[in-house]
Amino acid sequence: MNKTGHRLIFTDLDGTLLDQDSAAWTSARPALQEALNSGIPVIPCSSRAFAECRVLHEQMGLRGPIVFENGAGVALPQNQFRRPVAPPSDESDGYWLCRVAQPYSYVREILQKLRQKQHYQFRGLGDMSSAEIEQYTGRDTAMSHFAKQRRHSESLIWLDNAKSFDLFAKDLEGHGLRLTRGSHFIHVGSPCDKGQAVRWLVGVYQKLLGVRPQVVVLGDSANDVPMFQAADIAVIIRPPHAMPLQYRPRDSQQQLLVSEAAGSAGWNQVVRRLLLKTAMQA
């Protein structure tokens, strides 16, 4: 860790801090509590909507920022941060919601036009009832309702073939949108990502602390790669039913770790190991 001892932990949720099949995080509780007791901010960076992330944030006892919808927005607690000059922000539930992406209505409009014109086959969260989302994801009724409260991007299930998928991606680019793959869904939104959000937040903390903190990033999917590239320590969490994500360290200075266990158990193992190593070096 750096000489001042400051560290930030940025973490994906689904398939990383949350188990992929059940969305449980019980196995990560010991390391999560150790990090919080040590005063280390644990910052969720998820494709989920802000409303979902906020509930999980409270349940886990987290107190810092939230990155939602793959970096389309960043929520800053108003009791810790001043309203930023840029990017533009709204107020909601005690947070400044900083936005860098097109609104959800624009994304839905483009998706509807492409579906009607090109006959692409997919279903987005905006096409589903809360009950359908609950059935597909295994999330409870309340979280399935919150999942539909998206602000900047759409999550969808692709029902067409691979050739059509490539054409779909090109058509989206023509409208200033792009897609990324997550643990459960394909995500469509403006060309922003988790890495940009991580870099911006590191800059915010650097101004507050007077020194750049060490950055630990944990994730499991392709949409986590941009934030791995912003990390000092990149941690790939092993998925339960497949090979781990392939990622090469950004440079010789970046440390890369791969968890032995999947999901929240893997998160717990790696974070506890990092915290123990830090304690021994202190």
* pLDDT band at residue 280 under the 50/70/90 scheme: low
Residue 166 CA to residue 181 CA, distance in Å, equals 13
Is the pLDDT at 1 greater than 60, yes or no?
no
What is the reported pLDDT for 2? 46
Q: Is 240 helix (H, G, I), strand (E, B) or coil?
A: coil
Confirm whether 1 is domain-assigned: no
The beta-strand segments (E) located in the chain are 7-11, 42-44, 66-68, 73-77, 89-92, 95-99, 122-124, 154-158, 178-181, 186-189, 214-219, 233-238, 255-262
Facing residues of 90 across strands?
97
The 3-state DSSP class for residue 98 equals strand
The least confident of 171-175, 183-187, 205-209, 262-266 is 183-187
Tell me the one-letter amino acid at 104.
Answer: Y
Query: At 74, which amino acid appears?
Result: V
b/e code 96-128 from CB counts within 10 Å (16+ = b): bbbbbbbebebbbebbeebbeeeebebebbbeb
Under 8 Å between Cβ of 80 and 96: no
The label of the residue with tokens 């650097």 reads 206
Task: Give me the number of domains the chain comprises.
Answer: 2
What is the rounded CA–CA span in Å between residue 202 and residue 142?
A: 32
Question: 189, 224, 250: which is the final residue of a domain?
Answer: 189
Q: What is the pLDDT of residues 240-278, one digit of tens each?
A: 989 999 999 999 999 999 999 999 999 999 999 999 887
Q: What angle do CA 98, 52, 37 make, to 5 degrees?
A: 85
DSSP 39: T
Could you tell me the CATH number of the domain that includes residue 70? 3.40.50.1000
Nearest-angstrom CA–CA distance, 274 and 62: 19
- Helix (H) or strand (E) holding 136, with range, is helix 130-137
pLDDT in tens, 205-242: 999 999 999 999 999 999 999 999 999 999 999 999 89
| Mean per-residue pLDDT, 138-164 | 93
Same domain, 90 and 119: no
Q: Is 36 inside any structural domain? A: yes
Q: Which residues fall within 8 angstroms of residue 105, CB to CB, at 6 or more apart?
A: none
Q: Which residues pair with 99 in a beta bridge?
A: 73
| Structural domain that includes position 273 | 7-100+195-281
Q: What's the mean pLDDT in 49-71? A: 96
Last residue of a domain, one of 189, 215, 236: 189
Residues 95 and 113 in one domain: no
pLDDT tens profile 6-37: 999 999 999 999 999 889 999 999 999 999 99
pLDDT greater than 80 at residue 4: no
0.85 cut: is pTM over it?
Answer: yes
Residues 264 and 230 in one domain: yes
Query: Rounded mean pLDDT of 149-178?
Result: 96
Helices 263-281, 29-37: inter-axial angle, 10-degree rounding = 30
**Domain C-terminal end among 122, 156, 189:** 189
Residues 203 and 274 in one domain: yes
Burial of 46 (0-12, 13-18, 19+ CB in 10 A): buried
pLDDT reading at 102 higher than 80: yes
Residues 6+ apart with CB under 8 A from 39: none
> What percent of the chain has pLDDT above 70?
97
Does 282 have pLDDT greater than 60?
no
CA dist 264 and 32 (Å) reads 10
DSSP letter for each residue of 176-231: T-EEEE-SS-EEEESS--HHHHHHHHHHHHHHHHSSPPEEEEEE-SGGGHHHHTT-
